[in-house]
Every structure is written in structure tokens, then in C-alpha cells.
């Protein structure tokens, strides 16, 4: 489906009127097309943080932040989370339609066959300090993949070469992620097992030891698969935009994804899931006075922010948070886990949602508010939470990169309003 141009907007500058095309998307979203604005007027538009700037026309994910709607390729997230699998969703996002049974089998088998990483890459792990954050390790290992597959750097590669890079990324990211964790523990790495499905294999590489098999629990495997689906894409967020902008210089896909991993790491983005658990533990250790922390979050002179609350786009409950909150209760029940941090989270949500500050700013819990509690129940250590997010987000990043390349989008290069010193002479 193409965006329609059937209207115009008028801008008056210095007494002169200019007409700008209005673009309408398939869900009725409207934008003023300013591509030629500077050329005809000499003005640029200013929008720090791109809060109101459409950087692209995209057919991958639709979200309506006012109504709390999220759809991948038109399918509601609620239906995908309930009925689909992560690899099926990955195929959907990347190739635009649900795979046939045969296509899905081929895709999954192909991924299983590429899970090993070059033995030389294993040596890199030995050089990282044991305290290295797994996100830092993951980003550099993903970028290092490009050095092992130099053909991925050629522009105008045939489509089969791009497909192979996509399969390699999906196959190797769990291996690299699990090995980052093993490295942080000082434990030997565990090799992938092709007979396992995607999530089983990841859990096996995370938790098995050379001395002991890891017993797979179907509840844990299913919960992980669902979490990955919920994180799989979220249109033009910080990391997806990073992947698109890095890729727009025709940097290779591995390096573009590596940049996405780094963008995701920040606590205002994917790093929030780790920050939420650290915050909840801090509140508990401080005696559990919730009002005190809500007041601190409201105080503009206090740097404390309520992690896991607020979202650039959702001004209503994040639909993923709604699904995760319910999944959280189910999983903790099924696994028989009692987590005092969950109680604090629920009470904190209750207090915050009644508070005028949060209500008037439409600050609701986001996807990261409850995901960390599930990860804890699944046995995933806190410093791996954002890595889990990266595993889930990978198909979205790939889809965003592929769309940008296929649309032949120009190199990303914003403008600025210069507010520095005027020309002055170097002293002496």
C-alpha cells in the first residue's frame, strides 16, 4: 500500500505563501511533506528528538499511542503473542507476510544450521574483562561478524546473500548472547544444539554446563518465546532509527545491527528493564515507602525518574505491558515463584496511576516495567535483561534495515540551527 497525497498545507513565511503536500498513511495518519521545503523557502524545521518528525514511510509496524494499538504487518500484537511463534513473527516482519508451513520449516531449519560461530570468535571472549556488561560484549561481537563475512560488505549484493546474512544474524545472536553471559561467569561456553528450537537452544546455551544438562521446562520456553514476540518491533524508536540511519550510509547489516544494540542499551530505551529491577530492589531495601519515590520522580530538582514509566509514543497503556503483566502472574504461579519485587511493582503502579502528575502527563507502565520480573522468574540474571530485549528486537531491526535499503532511502543527515560563536580570530 502506498501513502496517498491528496491535500496540501499552506505556510506563510515573510508574507509569502507556500503550499506543501499532505501525505496520508493507510491508517489515516497525516504528515506534511517538507522534503522540498528548504529548497523553496530557505527554512528548515526544528524538532529536537524528532518528536514530531516522520523519518520514513514504513509498512512494517503500526502503532497508535493514544489508543494503545500495536500491529505487526497488520496483525494485532495480542493475537501474535497468543497464537504465533517468535520465528514465524520474525519471518512476518522481515518478509512482509506469514510464512507457509513449508517456508517456516525451511526458515527454522536454516537458522538451526547456522548457530555456530567461527571458533576464532571464541578467543575474543577471553580478552573481555569478566565484569564486562554483556550488552557491550554483544555489540562488539555482532560487529565482529562482519569481519568473518567480508562479502556482506559489498554493495548491490544479490538477494540470496542478504538472506544468508539475515539467517546468520538470527542464528548467531543467541549463541553470542549466551556466550557473553558464560564469559561474565567465568564458565566454559556451551555449544548450540540443532535439535532444539530457537528458545530451547538459547536456554540450553545459557544454563547447561559441561558437567550438567539443563532441563528444559515448556513453561519457561513458551514464556521466553512470547516475550521475544512482544519485543520484535516497535517502528521508528531510538534503536530502529539508529539501524536505519547507520545502514543508510550502506554500512553492512552486521554493523548496523551492532549500532542498534548499543542504542538499545541506554536506560531510557531497552536498558530500562534492568533499571526497573534495580529501582524496585532499591525501594524495597529502603523500606518500601512508595510515596517517597513517587514524590522523588515528580521533583524536577531530583534526578530520579520512575523507570518503566512513560513512553514517547504511548499516551495510554502500552499494550505489551498489559500482556506482560498478565503473563507475569501466570508464569510466577506456574513456576511457583514468589517474588516480593512483583508486589512492590504492583503497588507502585497503583500509587503512580492515581497521582495527578502521572495522570496529567499520561505516564503509564511501559513494556519494561514487568518484563524484568518475568526474566527473573525464568532465571535470567539482571545484566542479561537488555540482551534479551536485543534478541527479541533483532527481526524488527532487520526488517527496518531491509525496508530502508529496498526503498533506496537517501543517507540520513539532519540539519541544525547553529547557536554557537560567530566568526572570531585565533588569539595572537
Q: Would you name the residues annotated as active-site residues? A: 311, 368
- Of the pair 299, 406, the CB lying nearest ligand ACO is at 299
- Which residue stretch of 81-89, 103-111, 265-273, 373-381 sits at the interface with ligand ACO (rule: CB under 6 A)? 265-273
Distance CA 22, CA 8 (A): 5
Residue (228 or 272) nearer to ligand ACO, CB: 272
Longest dimension (CA), the chain: 79
Determine if 325 is a binding residue for ligand ACO (CB under 6 A): no
* Residue 204 within binding range of ligand ACO, rule CB under 6 A: no
Tell me the C-alpha distance between 125 and 204, whole Å.
Answer: 19
Which strands, in side-by-side order, build the sheet including 61-64?
A: 61-64, 69-72, 75-76
Minimum distance, C-beta of residue 54 to ligand ACO, in the bound complex (Å): 16
Burial pattern 352-380, b for ≥16 Cβ within 10 A else e, equals beebeebeeeebbbbbbbbbbbbbbbbeb
Residue 314 CB, nearest approach to ligand ACO (Å): 8
E runs forming strands in 45-146? 61-64, 69-72, 75-76
Binding of residue 203 to ligand ACO (CB under 6 A): no
Would you count residue 198 as binding ligand ACO (CB under 6 A)? no
> What is the Cα–Cα distance from 324 to 330, expressed in whole angstroms?
10
What does each C-alpha distance from 106 to 91, 109, 166, 167 come to in angstroms?
A: 11, 5, 14, 11
Q: If binding is defined by CB under 6 A, does position 396 make contact with ligand ACO?
A: no
Q: Print burial letters for 202-232: b (CB count within 10 Å at least 16), e (below 16).
A: bbbbbbbeeeeeeebeeebbebbbbbbbbbb
Nearer to ligand ACO, 152 or 236 (CB): 236
- Neighbour tally for 101: CB within 10 Å: 7
- List the x/- string, 224-263, binding to ligand ACO by CB under 6 A: ----------------------------------------
**How many residues belong to the site for ligand ACO (CB under 6 A)?**
18
Q: Which C-beta is closer to ligand ACO: that of 308 or that of 319?
A: 308
Asked if residue 395 binds ligand ACO (CB under 6 A), the reply is: no
CA distance 303 to 140: 31
Q: Which residue has the cell 524484568?
A: 372
CA atoms within 13 A on the CB side of 253: 29
Enumerate residues 342-371 that contact ligand ACO by CB under 6 A.
Answer: 361, 363, 366-368
Which C-beta is closer to ligand ACO: that of 224 or that of 367? 367
Min dist CB 238 to ligand ACO, Å, is 7
- For the segment 293-322, give every residue that binds ligand ACO (CB under 6 A): 297, 305-312
Q: What is the footprint of ligand ACO within residues 267-296 (CB under 6 A)?
A: 268-270, 272
Least Å distance between CB 305 and ligand ACO? 4
Q: Would you tell me which residues interact with ligand ACO (CB under 6 A)?
A: 268-270, 272, 297, 305-312, 361, 363, 366-368
Amino acid at each position: 500500500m502506498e501513502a496517498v497525497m491528496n491535500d496540501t498545507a499552506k505556510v506563510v513565511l515573510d508574507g509569502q505563501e507556500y503550499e506543501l503536500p499532505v501525505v496520508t498513511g493507510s491508517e489515516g495518519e497525516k504528515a506534511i511533506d517538507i522534503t522540498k521545503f528548504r529548497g523553496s523557502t530557505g527554512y528548515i524545521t526544528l524538532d529536537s528528538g524528532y518528536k514530531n518528525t516522520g523519518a520514513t514511510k514504513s509498512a512494517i509496524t503500526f502503532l497508535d499511542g493514544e489508543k494503545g494499538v500495536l500491529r505487526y504487518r497488520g496483525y494485532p500484537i495480542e493475537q501474535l503473542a497468543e497464537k504465533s511463534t517468535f520465528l514465524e513473527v520474525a519471518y512476518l516482519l522481515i518478509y512482509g507476510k506469514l510464512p507457509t508451513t513449508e517456508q517456516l520449516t525451511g526458515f527454522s531449519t536454516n537458522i538451526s544450521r547456522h548457530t555456530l560461530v567461527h571458533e576464532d570468535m571464541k578467543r575474543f571472549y577471553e580478552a573481555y574483562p569478566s565484569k564486562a556488561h554483556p550488552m557491550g560484549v554483544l555489540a562488539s561481537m555482532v560487529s565482529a561478524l562482519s569481519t568473518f563475512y567480508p562479502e556482506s560488505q559489498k554493495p548491490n549484493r544479490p538477494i540470496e546473500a542478504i538472506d544468508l546474512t539475515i539467517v546468520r544474524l538470527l542464528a548467531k545472536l543467541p549463541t553470542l548472547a549466551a556466550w557473553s553471559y558464560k564469559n561474565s561467569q567465568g564458565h566454559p561456553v556451551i555449544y548450540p544444539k540443532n535439535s532444539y528450537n530457537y528458545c530451547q537452544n538459547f536456554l540450553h546455551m545459557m544454563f547447561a554446563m559441561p558437567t550438567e544438562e539443563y532441563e528444559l521446562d515448556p513453561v519457561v520456553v513458551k514464556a521466553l518465546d512470547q516475550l521475544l514476540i512482544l519485543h520484535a518491533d516497535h517502528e521508528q524508536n531510538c534503536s530502529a532509527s539508529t539501524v536505519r540511519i547507520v545502514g543508510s550510509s550502506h554500512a553492512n547489516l552486521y554493523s548496523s545491527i551492532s549500532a542498534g544494540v548499543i542504542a538499545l542499551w541506554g536506560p531510557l530505551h531497552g536498558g530500562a528493564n534492568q533499571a526497573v529491577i534495580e529501582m524496585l530492589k532499591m525501594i524495597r531495601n529502603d523500606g518500601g515507602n512508595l510515596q517517597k519515590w513517587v514524590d522523588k520522580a515528580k521533583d524536577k530538582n531530583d534526578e530520579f525518574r520512575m523507570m518503566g514509566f512513560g513512553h514517547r509514543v504511548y499516551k495510554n497503556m502500552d499494550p505489551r505491558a498489559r500482556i506482560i503483566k498478565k503473563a507475569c502472574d501466570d508464569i510466577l504461579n506456574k513456576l511457583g515463584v514468589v517474588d516480593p519485587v512483583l508486589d512492590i511493582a504492583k503497588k507502585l503502579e497503583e500509587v503512580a496511576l492515581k497521582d495527578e502528575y502521572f495522570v496529567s502527563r499520561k505516564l503509564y507502565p511501559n513494556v519494561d516495567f514487568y518484563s524484568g520480573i518475568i526474566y527473573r522468574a525464568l532465571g535470567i540474571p539482571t545484566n542479561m535483561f537488555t540482551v534479551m530485549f536485543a534478541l527479541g528486537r533483532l527481526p524488527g531491526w532487520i526488517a527496518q534495515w531491509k525496508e530502508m535499503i529496498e526503498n533506496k532511502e537517501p543517507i540520513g543527515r539532519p540539519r541544525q540551527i547553529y547557536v554557537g560563536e560567530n566568526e572570531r580570530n585565533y588569539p595572537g
